[in-house]
Structure 1
């Protein structure tokens, strides 16, 4: 078959129906989908580095002879393998190992290893490196860079690499259609689509790693342009189809609002008053509000959301508040209950961890209308949840929800009670500051409100950047903070792998810290933990029963621990500035001076250095977002997963902002006929353009 967009992935060797279901989690259904599932980064395994030349924090391939393999007992049992080449000796350390694995490292055997060198108790160490035994004939070193793909449970890097190679072989026989007429492309991006895909799956040895890492290689930019165009076309389609939708007008209930404001122990800031007035004007109309509410960490977005909720409840309707995690949903439930229950307003909660009886009771209250404000996680989308008359949906940290889920919630509103087929209003909140130019492109169908003023009393956070070579000094700093009765976070940023590999990396770091830090109570939280386990760890941390919380980026939102005054972010160069700013906002919530240490890997690119410098210089999230845009670093403007179902696979709105004028120009061109537009949207939006409606 010539058209790879129609060739199912089961046509590839080694992909049966069961494995096809695993690939579907990565939105890979066809061979074309696989070709557009691009690596997030690359490893250079094309040369072997002498042990003596290893640098801390740098990934490398080494080869040497096993001198010893012993089980050692520190605070945690580990397997230590001593490896030697003609230049020096290094330790390989394994916290997870079997007897068979220990026997594999027989004295005198020759090993080739790949991993990141770190300073450990016994000098330089490699934690859990990839290894292969070298026989009489040494294995070939690859001629191309090794791609690292986004994964999901049940698929390994090796297997995905093999499938990608099969897909590339099929590129020659059939094809991926060139949908953009060449004359519409800027001269610098007239890169044939097939060549771009081939280059990005298998860059040659010597390819510019820094250019690929920052996403500015012409092959990446060619694909980013097409992807941004597809999203822009879907928004234009949305505007056309949205013109006929109606929503229930929600006038202000002045008595209820006065009562609410009089009970607050503080006054609203000027910015909160201005934004609340903008929202009130929207809600009073009979067209659905679609408003994006931006505000820095701690700016008081939740209070503005509560005022918006009063408009719906005061008009006799229901309001749903949706949060990405159980921890954040619980925090919202506490806040809204404290504010609204004294006014006689009933607050319900729907999360995945409710017991069956509690769940039945809450569902009944939601269906009957007895529950006026419903706080929940993705559990709000489940089929058995029926609202009585949902008129307003408030979505917190919207980029963490799949667009399909947002659409389902909107349709739940449309199908309920007295509102008939009216659509609910939507208020979308984010603490990720988005520069105005990008907000106009990324959220072209939303109006924007900005809370650009922080309440008085927030503590400044002192931010320093320290090389991973001084890791031991940073550990001493943690030990000192704990001795003074403070708590700390240690954030691991292995964001590009599956949750299971994230969890393993965080666990390895926690074990390493436990070895080095005496008397420090350490706990671990990551995406693989069940919600109740995560909640238990966070509750213990809030209660002061844990001194150091080792975490993946799951703690980015929703955690408020005033006694936590120190945060270490490992490999911050892997994250966007906006996400780093979000993480940093977890400290500085009490009355004590707080510190954030950016523990970066070396060598650091010039761009990476400039971005970390920007974080040190600015505490205002919008200044940071504008700086990130100026530097065009690979920021995370909409979060790691961006917008779920229609997430950007290649494009990055901050980095690729300079492509947006070109995108608008191409979209307006008569050379782009309706059929080409349809095919572009189908290619990039998984044949589901209606998801852009959410």
Structure 2
């Protein structure tokens, strides 16, 4: 039997090749695709609003008579139509119009239109409103329905898409949508059938509960939300299945290298580190590739756990790749691992973008012939000319900066090209549990939830910018006592160039104000070598104060730095501020973080800075960030591809995550259902499973 998936949109009236091409941009090729192009909100057009009661920002339906229509020849030619009712008047402005429209909107015509109120030269205006000339009577209140609003692409207007969706709904009686969820699942959660849900969401009937639809809480919407979240979960489980379809080399622990390593460490492992390493040790011993995410708050000692995992692989006679997103972080790992592993007789290779010529050739040769047991670098490790002799473990730091695809690419570099390497992913960005359950469904998660002894809490102080003088004095006093400080400039909305310029200006100002201090500067426009050189000087104590953009967010470790000033903290996410704050508090002395904001602060801004002042717990802070700013911001932009939902909204719908996580593995036993659901919600284009 033919399904809606097989019927192209060109079957609809008015859809020729040109429109079909535009629809492809929205991922719409079949009638089914069109029915799953769901409204992301609704407008209440059930009442006509008197013009006299409009306010800027209102979205409303008005109706009146055209007083005059003029061609205005300003910078851009426009058609200006003045409309009035008994309570006032309103200007309709069109920048794109034709002669027919101009004649339609002539003096005396009766017009009903819908738009957003904006301030204009002649009073309130609607730009390019949707309108009807000589409109029919408004339906009675109990007959009036909400109007769906769809995501658009260039060249398709809302009314056109609305009409196409209405036409597509006509096919539902002859070709119902296949329901891929098992009946008992629908019954358990009392969910409506899929065709019924799709119909209601596109065309809410008159009298449907407006408040539920507007809030996305209607059972029909929730049915679709649940299915969408399930499709995302299944797609990630599919990635996991694909990676684990290849066997891995079991790495059995011999313990000798690890014992020597632990003996030379100047500190004891915490209980949490031991517990997490035990998870890793067991995973590495299996013939299935490990897929484990280790989360640990700033300073919880993830790197030591990674080093122990590396030693388990090296002692089994295989190689390790450690990859970090930035040169600074990769270099820091290289220095750490070198100081720990070289005394144990382990050879390392350093491969970043800036390693060129003979040095690169030598590093590549050492990796290819197996003499280097561990290769450390940025994503330069992915390049084709990097060939490993016996790669069995890949450690990725700050995974959310890399896409899932890049992790899949690593499969090909495993032992003999046939065995998949084990993967250990680390992040210092604490990820709220609900978000980890959905964004990292392909990974097992371990949490290092204990800080090493001796780490003192950092005192966080929130001050307005006009206290700048006091803050500069505070820096002077700290440096006079032999400590060091960071000064972080943030200008997130602006370009990188402006950000660097702001940092340069600040560094110059602070050097003039604090002539007795050595001031350094680090920003995104410096060459990697200059950046690393400046960081080394700060680390070695040659510089007292380091002015930086947010490039120092991750992984910089200077125990003598005990003060960090962050300008305009209201512009950054909480997780990022927490990361920046974690640059201090790494030594013995009490440490301080000063958040210097630009008044006035919004309610939202106040709540965020308050959360930071009240808590040192990265997981609590990440939960707050998620509530306030949503998943895309918490995970970082690269990962957000995972969270591009059509209908689901993370914060509103997180109640579905636990049930979906339970249901997904059950469905994985039925590949036909799984593939159909993934195709329905993610289309062909976002199959994370394909590199």
* C-alpha spacing 1:189/1:353, structure 2 compared with 1 (3 Å): farther
Number of aligned positions between the proteins: 523
Question: What TM-score do you get using the length of structure 1 for normalisation?
Answer: 0.65
* Alignment-derived partner of residue 536 in structure 2: 539
Q: Is 1:349–2:357 an aligned residue pair?
A: no
Please state whether the residue corresponding to 2:387 is helix, strand or coil: coil
Greater displacement, 316-325 / 614-623: 614-623
* Alignment-derived partner of residue 384 in structure 1: 385
Q: CA RMSD in A?
A: 4.4
Please state whether the residue corresponding to 1:586 is helix, strand or coil: coil
Displacement of 1:359: 0.4
Equivalences for 1:440-451 in 2 at 5 Å?
440-451=437-448
Please state whether the residue corresponding to 1:257 is helix, strand or coil: helix
Q: Is 1:641–2:651 an aligned residue pair?
A: no
* Alignment-derived partner of residue 577 in structure 1: 574
* Alignment-derived partner of residue 363 in structure 1: 364
Per-residue CA shift, 1:43-96, capped at 9, x if unaligned?
A: xxx89xxxxxxxxxxxxxxxxxxxxxxxxxxxxxxxxxxxxxxxxxxxxxxxxx
Stretches of structure 2 lacking an aligned partner (at least 5 in a row): 1-17, 27-36, 41-55, 58-119, 128-150, 169-176, 180-190, 205-214
CA distance in 1, matches of 2:395, 2:122: 57
Displacement of 1:386: 0.5
Greater displacement, 461-470 / 647-656: 647-656
Per-residue CA shift, 1:202-226, capped at 9, x if unaligned?
A: xxxxxxxxxxxxxx999xx999999
Q: Is 1:265–2:266 an aligned residue pair?
A: yes
Stretches of structure 1 lacking an aligned partner (at least 5 in a row): 10-32, 37-45, 48-136, 145-163, 196-215
CA distance in 2, matches of 1:690, 1:512: 51
CA distance in 1, matches of 2:318, 2:532: 32
Question: What TM-score do you get using the length of structure 2 for normalisation?
Answer: 0.65
* C-alpha spacing 1:371/1:193, structure 2 compared with 1 (3 Å): farther
CA distance in 2, matches of 1:279, 1:557: 24
Does the CA-based 8 Å contact 1:611-1:633 persist in structure 2?
Answer: no
Q: Is 1:2–2:19 an aligned residue pair?
A: yes
CA distance in 2, matches of 1:590, 1:188: 58
Displacement of 1:462: 0.7
- The structure with the larger Rg is 2
* Alignment-derived partner of residue 337 in structure 1: 338
* C-alpha spacing 1:590/1:252, structure 2 compared with 1 (3 Å): same
* Alignment-derived partner of residue 245 in structure 1: 246
CA distance in 2, matches of 1:190, 1:570: 50
* C-alpha spacing 1:557/1:5, structure 2 compared with 1 (3 Å): farther
* C-alpha spacing 1:477/1:403, structure 2 compared with 1 (3 Å): same
Task: Tell me which of 596, 616, 624 is aligned to 1:619.
Answer: 616
Displacement of 1:355: 3.1
Displacement of 1:381: 0.8
Per-residue CA shift, 1:147-196, capped at 9, x if unaligned?
A: xxxxxxxxxxxxxxxxx9982755554589899999689x999997999x
* C-alpha spacing 1:517/1:646, structure 2 compared with 1 (3 Å): farther
* C-alpha spacing 1:172/1:504, structure 2 compared with 1 (3 Å): farther
* Alignment-derived partner of residue 92 in structure 2: none
Displacement of 1:350: 0.6
Per-residue CA shift, 1:587-645, capped at 9, x if unaligned?
A: 1122222110112333333343233222212223234334545x544477754324276
CA distance in 1, matches of 2:644, 2:525: 24
* C-alpha spacing 1:285/1:508, structure 2 compared with 1 (3 Å): same
Equivalences for 1:17-96 in 2 at 5 Å?
none
* Alignment-derived partner of residue 309 in structure 2: 308
* C-alpha spacing 1:184/1:552, structure 2 compared with 1 (3 Å): farther
Q: Is 1:452–2:453 an aligned residue pair?
A: no
* C-alpha spacing 1:492/1:346, structure 2 compared with 1 (3 Å): same
Task: Tell me which of 419, 423, 432 is aligned to 2:420.
Answer: 423
Please state whether the residue corresponding to 1:624 is helix, strand or coil: helix
Equivalences for 1:271-310 in 2 at 5 Å?
271-310=272-311
